């Protein structure tokens, strides 16, 4: 999915830029990449040859006085059929830092300038080779911490996310056409605003949006990892659970209530998926000043939680539920963990029927931990399916949330017969949604009204 960026070009956008494209340090091969109007001319001067498009040429790279810098390969991709949409050259040499620095200095002496971070991809966006979500997916693919995150970033780079956004934008445009037809042509016999089909279309668009929002949230968790808060009464086994998941004794474990008096954080990876585990002070009344501060911090952590692991002592789970439930913020996802299940008589445990929100385990023996890890993978967005999610960022989720708020208001205004207000909310929804791809739609609705409806018949 390409961008149709129409804003002003950044300063220096017509310069020829150059940078080392491979990772810092020594390697078998290193690449100096150039992009811009002088890229080919610089390559000809460095290599002493006229490169053919999309061919690998063996070349000898030389200094201005003829001294050889290195032997390597030269590849030339003429505009617009290149990554940036400009003339692009890659000089592939041996991967020694001194060699690559010398080659880069030679390019700069011939007229290139150092590329800013991300400037090659920025030019790809400006020149319509990628939209903004795809451009961000390039960085996400490079930084992916798991195979699932890499697959998700690859799908975003392929335009899966952008295509879904564009389909929703087009649905919103269609709704605006209906509503603005009723506003601009009130003399027509048909009352478009009162048409049940219009409400049904808006409600269907809301359902599509909610599904996209859920998938974007899952994609964000795949990219950023999961923020998990471990909560529960004293001595329920919260610190033992943290240690079991971390694979080391990160938290002090004793039989004394109130051992954990501050917030402990540990970053762990489960099948490559990053989780930030936050162990908190046990929730109870009558704590001393220091422990009370730990409890206050525990409650503050809940606001940033993607998931709460509510740890209960299975020997008295009802008491634990009562102490935890009062502190849970509305809307937070909770997984109830019935810990110390190895201490409960087998007949009693057999009567338990775990549902989607409860797991029975023992942090001491390890029983049930594999099931917990599977649930954490699922919560982090890893479904195990071949297709998988697309990657998303916090700004995408925020834009979708604002889009949803405008859709809710538009539906309420439409039901109240306030067509102009509903149309404005749909416009604002499009504006928020368009932030994801950087694509701003031209407001040519009047022309589309005439082509979509038989007005005056």
Which amino acids are annotated as binding site for GTP, given as ranges? 235-240, 254-260, 279-282
DSSP annotation of 21 reads -
Beta-carbon contacts of 230 under 8 Å, excluding residues fewer than 6 positions away, are 238, 241, 242, 277, 278, 279, 280, 308, 309, 311
Point out the annotated binding site for K(+). 235, 254, 256, 259
Preceding peptide of 19 cis, ω within 30°: no
Residues paired with residue 228 on neighbouring β-strands, in sequence order? 277, 307
Point out the annotated binding site for (6S)-5-formyl-5,6,7,8-tetrahydrofolate. 33, 90, 129, 457
d(CA 370, CA 365): 12
Say if residues 437 and 131 touch (Cβ distance below 8 Å). yes
Residue 236 host element (H or E): none
What residue has token string 């004293």? Answer: 234
Point out the annotated binding site for Mg(2+). 239, 260
Point out the annotated binding site. 33, 90, 129, 235-240, 254-260, 279-282, 457
Q: What share of the chain is helix, strand, coil (3-state, %, to 5)?
A: 45, 15, 35
Cα dihedral 274/209/435/5 (nearest 10): 110
DSSP letter string, 402-416: HHHHHHHHHHHHHHT
Mapped onto helix, strand or coil, the DSSP state of residue 179 is: helix
3-class SS letters over 296-354: HHHHHHHHHCCEEEEEEECCCHHHHHHHHHCCCCCCCCEEEEEECHHHCCHHHHHCCCC
Taking Cα atoms as reference points, which of 285, 244, 242, 247 lies closest to residue 264? 242
DSSP annotation of 194 reads G
Taking Cα atoms as reference points, which of 328, 322, 285 lies closest to residue 309? 328
Taking Cα atoms as reference points, which of 107, 146, 152, 142 lies closest to residue 17? 107
Give the total residue count for the chain: 457
DSSP annotation of 158 reads T
> Would the CA dihedral through 5, 11, 14, 15 be positive or negative?
negative
Say if residues 77 and 88 touch (Cβ distance below 8 Å). yes
């Amino acid at each position: 999915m390409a961008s149709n960026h129409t804003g002003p070009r950044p300063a220096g956008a017509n310069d020829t830029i150059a940078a080392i494209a491979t990772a810092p340090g020594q390697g078998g091969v290193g690449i100096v990449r150039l992009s811009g109007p002088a890229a080919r001319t610089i390559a000809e001067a460095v290599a002493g040859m006229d490169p053919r498009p999309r061919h690998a040429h063996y070349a000898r790279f030389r200094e201005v006085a003829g001294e050889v810098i290195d032997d390597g390969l030269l590849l030339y991709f003429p505009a617009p059929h290149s990554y940036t949409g400009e003339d692009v050259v890659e000089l592939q040499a041996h991967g020694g830092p001194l060699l690559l620095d010398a080659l880069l200095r030679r390019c700069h002496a011939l007229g290139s300038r150092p590329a800013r971070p991300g400037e090659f991809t920025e030019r790809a966006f400006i020149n319509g080779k990628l939209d903004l979500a795809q451009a961000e997916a390039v960085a996400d693919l490079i930084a992916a911490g798991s195979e699932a995150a890499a697959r998700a970033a690859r799908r975003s780079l392929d335009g899966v996310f952008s295509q879904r956004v564009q389909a929703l934008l087009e649905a919103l445009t269609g709704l605006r056409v209906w509503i603005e037809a009723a506003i601009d042509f009130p003399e027509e016999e048909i009352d478009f605003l009162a048409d049940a089909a219009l409400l049904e279309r808006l409600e269907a668009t809301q359902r599509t949006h909610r599904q996209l929002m859920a998938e974007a949230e899952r994609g964000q968790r795949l990219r950023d990892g999961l923020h998990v808060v471990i909560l529960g009464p004293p001595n329920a086994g919260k610190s033992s659970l943290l240690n079991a998941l971390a694979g080391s004794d990160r938290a002090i474990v004793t039989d004394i209530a109130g051992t954990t008096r501050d917030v402990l954080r540990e970053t762990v990876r489960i099948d490559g998926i990053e989780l930030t585990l936050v162990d908190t002070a046990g929730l109870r009344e009558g704590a001393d000043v220091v422990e009370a501060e730990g409890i206050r911090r525990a409650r503050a952590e809940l606001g940033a939680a993607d998931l709460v692991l509510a740890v209960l002592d299975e020997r008295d789970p009802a008491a634990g539920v009562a102490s935890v439930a009062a502190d849970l913020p509305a809307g937070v996802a909770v997984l109830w963990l019935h810990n110390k299940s190895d201490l409960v008589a087998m007949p009693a445990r057999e009567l338990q029927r775990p549902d989607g929100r409860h797991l029975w385990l023992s942090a001491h023996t390890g029983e049930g931990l594999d099931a917990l890890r599977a649930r954490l993978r699922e919560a982090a967005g890893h479904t195990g399916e071949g297709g998988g999610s697309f990657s998303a960022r916090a700004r995408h989720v925020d834009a979708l949330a604002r889009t949803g708020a405008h859709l809710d208001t538009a539906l309420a205004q439409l039901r109240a017969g306030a067509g102009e207000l509903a149309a404005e909310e749909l416009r604002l929804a499009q504006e928020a949604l368009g932030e994801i791809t950087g694509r701003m739609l031209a407001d040519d609705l009047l022309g589309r009204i005439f082509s979509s409806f038989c007005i005056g018949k």
